[in-house]
Structure 1
Amino acid sequence: MSRLLTAFALLGLVALNTACTPVGVAIGGAAMAGSTAMQERGFEQALSDKSTELSIQKKVIDADFETFQRVDVTVVEGRVLLTGVVPNAEDRVRVVESTWQTEGVVEVINEVLIGADVGVINTGYDLKIESALDLALTLDRDVQAVNYIPDATGGTLYLMGIAQNQAELDRVIAHARTIERVRRVVSYVLIKDSPERIALLKRLAEQKAQE
């Protein structure tokens, strides 16, 4: 489910709540920085991924807001997950092309659906699914919840992030399958010490060295 407008709304709320107090701004910024620093990918990479994510979102929205308003972008260590729905196959290709043209991208996972009506997917239910999984993972002491990003589209729950081990990932997937209205769970989570992640980090480092 697209979180672009949600992100803008949250930023607005933060501004309203802290604008009158420098201490409030400092506390809010410190909390966000602390949460980011706790992630397995680290503070610097998390900020780089967010910058890449926003750049992709801006590209597709600026290109055609009406067509791409339901496209969501999630980036973890240069891996980009595209979800949502667009009217036709050509638009799906355009999203992927725009993504590959963005700095910081090393892999693109295309899960964008094609539909005649971009309103066919119930965003309200998808938001509830994401929030429910966030809560379940936060309450599970055997899961480092900060390393997982859920993205629901039409009842399909996609998972992105970095797992400490297979046992932790299995717990996360089990939680996801118990969430109400989840029809399918698709995991693109990488294990921390897996060969796949090691290779990914190598490509990411090589890309940064060329910048």
Structure 2
Amino acid sequence: MKLTLSCRLLASLLLAANLAGCAAPLVIGGAAVGGMMAVDRRTTGTQVEDEGIELRATNRIFGDHGDKVHINVTSYNRQVLLTGEVPNEQVRDAVQKTVSQVANVRSIVNELAVMPNTPITQRSNDTFITGKMRASLLDAKDLTATAFKVVTERGVIYLMGIVSQREAARATSIARGVTGVRKVVRVFEYVSEDDLARMNTGSRAPVTDTNPDSAPAK
């Protein structure tokens, strides 16, 4: 049965709550949603590794810094995105070093800002933006919504996933059209259209070394 836009938006907001965790000073960025493993472009083993990376990194950061920081840890294909706020550059560097020592981490994109922790109103707005982006991806008939992980921080949307250049451009265009978005940062890993076709038919090798963005793009 076809979902209405409002239903899709509600579902997306529930997913976004896992990503943004606005009630806690430190949250996990990418909790898995049961049945979605079957359509994820990562192997099941990699999905489990990503879950473990997020949990271990979050626990270590909280143990070191407590509520003095607000940090979101999001792992996709063992590439870790750090977003949020820290009090100074020393803490920013220390957090990256801590995460780099977590088992199975392949690379880190450090987008932590040196500034006061954001208020609950900003985090709630970020959660809502993530929900709108997820709903827009579901509406896009030429994209597979589950191929994308969406993180929003202070009005900046971060897009992660294993995608083709075409999908990356299309998702970026959609994100730029979401109300309230100040900037779009791509943290994609790229595959060819041929590889994508094989993934979609289920006849693919595990994705472990794709071609990532050389730097986050606006």
TM-score bracket, shorter-length normalisation: 0.7 to 0.9
Residue 5 of structure 1, CA deviation: 3.8
Instruction: Give a deviation string over 1:158-192, Cα, whole Å, max 9, x none.
Output: 111111x2211111111100111111101011122
Aligned pair in 2 of structure 1 residues 202, 5: CA closer, same or farther (>3 Å)?
closer
Which residue pairs with 2:140 in the alignment? 140
Aligned pair in 2 of structure 1 residues 124, 4: CA closer, same or farther (>3 Å)?
closer
Which residue pairs with 2:40 in the alignment? 39
Secondary structure, in 3 states, of the residue corresponding to 1:189?
strand
For the pair shown, the structure with the greater C-alpha radius of gyration is 1
Structure 1 unaligned spans of 5+:
9-30, 204-211
Which residue pairs with 1:161 in the alignment? 161
Alignment of 1:117-196 (within 5 A): 117-119=116-118, 122-163=122-163, 165-193=164-192
Secondary structure, in 3 states, of the residue corresponding to 1:85?
strand
Q: Percent identity?
A: 25
Secondary structure, in 3 states, of the residue corresponding to 1:119?
coil
Q: What is the TM-score of this pair, normalised by structure 2?
A: 0.72
Q: What is the TM-score of this pair, normalised by structure 1?
A: 0.74
Residue 96 of structure 1, CA deviation: 0.1
Query: Segments of 4+ in structure 1 off by > 4 A?
Result: none
Which residue pairs with 2:89 in the alignment? 89
Structure 2 unaligned spans of 5+:
1-15, 25-31, 194-204, 211-218
Q: Equivalents in 1 of 2:170, 2:176: separation in Å?
A: 10
Count of aligned pairs: 174
Which residue pairs with 1:62 in the alignment? 63
Task: Output the amino acid matched with 1:118.
Answer: N
Q: CA RMSD in A?
A: 2.7
Aligned pair in 2 of structure 1 residues 7, 40: CA closer, same or farther (>3 Å)?
farther
Residue 38 of structure 1, CA deviation: 0.8
Task: Output the amino acid matched with 1:180.
Answer: T
